[in-house]
Amino acid sequence: MIERPSDLLKKFDFYPKKSLGQNFLYDPVWINRIVNAAEISKSDIVLEIGPGSGSLTIALSSIARKVIAVEIDNRLIPILNYVLDGIKNVTVITGDILDCEPHKLMEQYDASKFVVVANIPYYITGQIVRHLFESSMLPRSITMSVQREVAERMIVTPGQMNLLAVSAQFYSNVKIMGYIPAGAFYPIPSVDSALIRLDVFDPSDHVHADSSLFFRIVRAGFAQKRKQLQNSLSNGLSLNKEQTLNALTSIGLDPRCRAQALTMQNWADLTDLLRDAVSVEKK
């Protein structure tokens, strides 16, 4: 039986750091739900980000071919070595996932496709997801616990869109798989959590082929949330208002609208229409 984190950490004189956002998932019901949500097969390589005290790692190792667990806090390594003793298909790496390239972690395992499972600090969710989306080797899916508010911001529709939602929906199909009670973690977090799954698109299925230009325009649009989109784009891209007016009206948008109203296709169309003007300005 897996030891409760409170007992296990006490045994190793370990104290969670608030600065690292350390809340360890240990509830067996939710551990099983995460594993099931990730739909892991016996042939899969799992990249686990933030194994913590190892409860989820053990469950993943019982199904997956290989688990590569990346832990930023080297104080947890003795605990993980203790918990995972005798489990041969788990490799624990000490380091920051933002400094790790997935293809380098996977190359010796011949894994052209892999899955990510993570229980990570809420404050770094966006950075980690972006790092995975922009890597040269893409995971098949990302299943992770995140702050409930963050999960709900990812799945909004036009009228409520935000930069995080555009990013998540550009690269993946996002689903909320359930809401995790605070009592499933130790220490108990002060915010509610959600379990999300992001099924990652093949780059050929992105709404626009030029992701760099696409997000340059999107970031400009969201840079000044309270401003009308015509003004936000003009200011953010250093374009005159006539250029942005023409682009917006040509795809049937009111220049007075705001960035949160646009669909993914609207952003893709704007990228095409403003490509030359933005490229000239960039030079």
Range of the domain at 12: 5-205
pLDDT for the residue 193? 94
In order along its 283 residues, the chain shows pLDDT tens digits of 567 778 888 899 998 888 788 889 989 999 999 999 999 999 999 999 999 999 999 999 999 999 999 999 999 999 999 999 999 999 999 999 999 999 999 888 878 789 999 988 778 888 999 999 999 999 999 999 999 999 999 999 999 999 999 999 999 999 999 999 999 999 999 888 999 999 999 999 999 999 999 999 999 999 987 789 999 999 999 999 999 999 999 999 999 999 999 999 999 999 999 999 887 555 4
Based on the fold, state whether residues 120 and 200 are members of the same structural domain: yes
pLDDT for the residue 107? 84
Out of 205, 221, 248, a domain closes at: 205
Based on the fold, state whether residues 65 and 197 are members of the same structural domain: yes
Burial of 68 (0-12, 13-18, 19+ CB in 10 A): buried
CATH number of the domain to which 55 belongs: 3.40.50.150
Based on the fold, state whether residues 267 and 235 are members of the same structural domain: yes
Domain tally, the chain = 2
Q: Are 239 and 282 in contact (CB under 8 A)?
A: no
Bridge pairing between strands 185-186 and 24-25: antiparallel
From residue 246, alpha-carbon distances to 237, 240, 249, 259, 275 in Å are 15, 10, 5, 16, 13
Based on the fold, state whether residues 15 and 47 are members of the same structural domain: yes
CATH number of the domain to which 262 belongs: 1.10.8.100
CA-CA distance, 26 to 14, in Å (whole number)? 16
pLDDT for the residue 281? 53
